[in-house]
Amino acid sequence: MQNNNFKIARLLLVGVVILAVLIIGGKNLARIDAYISLVIQDSQDETLEYTEKIEIVIKPGDTFATIMESAGVSYDETEAMLASAKDVYDLTKLHSGKFLHLFLVEEAFAAVDYDLNDEMKIVIEKYEDSFEAREEPIVYDTYQTSAEAVITSSLFVDGAEAGLSDVTLLALADIFAWDIDFLTDIRKGDSFNIVYKKRFLDGEEAGPGNILAARFDNQGVTHAAFYYKDAFGEEGYYDLQGKSLSRQFLKSPLDYSYISSGFSYKRVNPVTKQLTPHRAIDYAADTGTPVIATADGKVTAAGSKGGLGITVEIRHGSYLTQYAHLSRIAKGVENGADVAQGDVIGYVGSTGISTGPHLQYAMFEDDTPINPFVVELPSGEPLEASDMEQFLSQISKLRKKIGK
């Protein structure tokens, strides 16, 4: 009966959204499709009311089948659950130390869930004689808190003294990564102030949640960011004018020790000793340091390229980025492969004509070399005008909390 009710509810909900499509038009079909998924999941979450929850710690050697057998679940039901979940997650690959949760309704087995990571879990629910599996967000109890610090040593040392975890500090660095190079731009006397969520699960602290607002004063320049998620689930960080803080390209392609050679049209080549152009940036780093794609794109070259040594080139529309003198190329990175911003595409080396381990990073626009440090690179999409009133209302209190 519950399954039939759910199907009827789902049809009604989807019908409402289809009606909205007819009224609104086809412009936002992709967003509306995402909204249908959210609506269906919300209704799915409310179909069962569990009377008991059993938490099981996964031990070395445990399998999904042995855990279900110990819990009194039949072999046929276990096989049915594994089959239902195969397109969502392979339940034969459970990790020891994590948890499985069994849910009962009046002492009868009704569902099981398994945390895939800190944000998502797989849920398998029983409907009459079948099972349905899905991924869904982990729901935490949260509350807002804040922290601030002045840099006297480093972001991570001073941030830790302010009570912040490495996870939160890395998130802070990621938010401002397009405007601040946290390896070279940070100075003593810089400061930051953030508002973020603390999360709790079943009454126990479960680590930090999203940063909601942040202010970073760097070398006399104030940067501010505010988290915003629209009605269709699209999220990001924006400034006070609703402009996205993200850029098409990251500021640097790796964690480096220092810049050994900058962009120049007249540089003495350290190998040939001749005065030649160097239309790239050399980042000194240890051999094996991961190198990441600075933007989404398609690999157009991956292999040895004369004096550049092992090289990867990625096309991003009218732009092209080049990563040279690598020690090796990452698995799966080959000509024609699609890569996302932040994907590891290779590792620092000293192949080709090189005096030591470093990454030579070059950037081209319409096949003309450009200096990535000074060129104005494309920004992310700003908020739509229809979102601005809600955005400004949402951040009004947060602005006061970070002093912006």
The Cα–Cα gap between 95 and 71 comes to 18
* pTM listed for this prediction: 0.63
Task: Return the residue matching tokens 């190198």.
Answer: 291
The Cα–Cα gap between 29 and 27 comes to 6
Q: Is the distance from CB of 157 to CB of 150 less than 8 angstroms?
A: no
pLDDT tens for the chain, 404 residues: list them.
Answer: 444 444 444 555 545 555 554 454 544 544 445 444 444 444 444 445 777 888 899 999 899 999 999 888 899 999 999 999 988 999 888 888 888 999 988 888 889 999 988 889 999 999 878 899 999 998 899 999 999 999 999 999 999 999 999 989 999 998 998 888 887 789 999 999 999 999 998 788 887 889 999 999 999 999 999 999 988 888 999 999 999 998 888 878 886 544 544 444 444 444 444 445 657 888 888 899 999 999 999 999 999 999 999 999 999 999 999 999 999 999 999 999 999 998 999 999 999 988 889 999 999 999 899 988 777 777 778 899 999 999 999 999 999 999 87
The Cα–Cα gap between 308 and 322 comes to 10
Number of other residues whose CB lies within 10 A of the CB of residue 98? 13
Q: What are the C-alpha distances in Å from 185 to residues 191, 192, 329, 345?
A: 13, 14, 29, 25
Q: Reduced to 3 states, what is the DSSP secondary structure of residue 28?
A: helix
The Cα–Cα gap between 364 and 372 comes to 9
The Cα–Cα gap between 278 and 262 comes to 8
Bridge partners, 141 (sequence order):
200
Closest CA to 208 of 116, 138, 118, 100: 118
Q: Is the distance from CB of 288 to CB of 348 less than 8 angstroms?
A: yes
Written as one string, the DSSP assignment of 352-380 is: SS-SSSEEEEEEEETTEEE-TTTS-PPBP
Model confidence pLDDT, tens digit, residues 231-269: 888 899 999 999 999 888 887 888 654 454 444 444 444
Q: Which two tokens stand for residue 367?
A: 């096949």
Q: Which two tokens stand for residue 123?
A: 């849920």
The Cα–Cα gap between 345 and 351 comes to 16
Model confidence pLDDT, tens digit, residues 130-184: 899 999 998 899 999 999 999 999 999 999 999 999 989 999 998 998 888 887 7
For the chain, domains (ranges, CATH) are 48-137 (3.10.450.350), 141-246+383-401 (3.10.450.350), 258-370 (2.70.70.10)
Number of other residues whose CB lies within 10 A of the CB of residue 119? 11
